[in-house]
Amino acid sequence: LAAGVAYVSGYPGSPATGVFEALARHAATSTLALDWAPNEKVALEMAAGASLAGRRSLVVLKSVGLNIALDPLATLSYVGCHAGLVLLVGDDPGGSSSQNEQDSRWLARLAEAPLVEPTDAASAAPLMTQAFAWSEALGLPIIVRLTRSLANATAPQGEPLWQLPPGRRRFLRHENRWIVYPPNVVRRHHILHHHLRQYQTALEASPYDLGGEHAASPRGVIAAGGAYARLRASGCSLQGADLLGLASAWPLPERRLSAWLAPVQRLLVLEEGGPFIEEQMRALAQRQGLRLEILGRATRALPEEGELRDEDIALALQALMAE
């Protein structure tokens, strides 16, 4: 609402449904329009149409629903958007209300759609507003990923949310601008990569990634998205290790991370889902020539399945500090 969203579409599915329902309570007293769609593909296409018409739009769906929406998303990344377009995707580590533990971050990377994750409940609303600002500035759809534990978390409202100025509210007429067909596929892909590099540069100064400019300890912990809140709530001692809360899941702010990692010799990656950040960190360390041991789900310092538990985090921190 602070971002000036004008249209919301979605398909029911926990843990994302509550966002749609909360917005629906405001629809009767505002100009906000909402539609449950017959499926997630249609939901994304409806929101994309509203974005092209100059209305900031939000799509609300769960992890397995992103599979259904992947067909238009893979091309929409090339087309881009006009007014801000954000997908709120609810992942369900532990399978509490899903048939699998799908990690949507891999699909975001496949579709080349930027993805961010709030590190706690307090940062979720400001990050959503920021996602709309990034989307509109760069002409890219942005994915905001929530996990079940974060969707169920609460936090007191702090400072009043910053408000985006009014949206564009018009259709941008330009011949062949909003279609992708064989003669312009490579050019649109090139433009997408240019915009992704611009976005990645913007992430280098993102206030949603929480940590010092440089680590001070040879032991480091990166807690991605909701794993940061889980670590804080667990009460586990970091035992002198430096902590970085990472909201920027893909692409990564690589220059900032490389500088932070310079003194680190052993790194633990905490994340909900598969070893998505862990594998990116391993690749980044190799490219930067960093001699760095990385622990996480891929190395089984953390269980490969299920939600993060306090005992999992405690054991992983013990492994990090072991000689």
Residue 244 sits at the vertex; the CA angle it makes with 257 and 161, to the nearest 5 degrees, is: 105
Residue 215's pLDDT band, with cuts at 50, 70 and 90, is: confident
Question: Positive or negative, the Cα torsion across 158, 245, 277, 98?
Answer: negative
Closest CA to 277 of 321, 306, 309, 244: 244
Residue 63 pLDDT more than 80? yes
Residue 36 pLDDT more than 90? yes
Q: Three-state SS for 320?
A: helix
- Six token digits for residue 244: 């970085």
| Percentage with pLDDT > 70 across the chain | 99
Of 45-59, 81-95, 166-180, minimum mean pLDDT range: 166-180
Backbone angles phi, psi at 78, to 5 degrees: -75, -45
Q: What is the pLDDT of residue 161?
A: 78
Q: Mean of the pLDDT values across residues 195-205?
A: 96
Q: What is the pLDDT of residue 216?
A: 84
pTM equals 0.95
Residue 211 pLDDT more than 70? yes
CA-CA distance, 303 to 313, in Å (whole number)?
10
Residue 298 pLDDT more than 90? yes
Q: Are 70 and 113 in contact (CB under 8 A)?
A: no
Q: What is the pLDDT of residue 171?
A: 86
Q: What is the pLDDT of residue 29?
A: 76
Q: 120-165 pLDDT, tens per residue?
A: 999 999 999 999 999 999 999 999 999 998 988 888 877 777 788 8
Q: What is the pLDDT of residue 160?
A: 74
Q: What is the pLDDT of residue 312?
A: 96
- Six token digits for residue 243: 């902590």
Q: What is the pLDDT of residue 61?
A: 97
Task: Provide the pairing of β-strand 57-62 with 33-36.
Answer: unpaired
Q: Helices 226-234 and 310-321 meet at what angle, rounded to 10?
A: 90
Residue 323 pLDDT more than 70? no
Q: What is the pLDDT of residue 268?
A: 98
Residue 28 pLDDT more than 80? no
Q: 267-283 pLDDT, tens per residue?
A: 999 999 999 999 999 99
Q: 216-267 pLDDT, tens per residue?
A: 899 999 999 999 999 999 999 998 899 999 999 999 999 999 999 999 999 9
Residue 13 pLDDT more than 70? yes
Break the chain down into helix, strand, coil percent, rounded to 5. Answer: 40, 15, 40
Alpha-helix runs per DSSP H in 178-261: 185-203, 226-234, 254-261
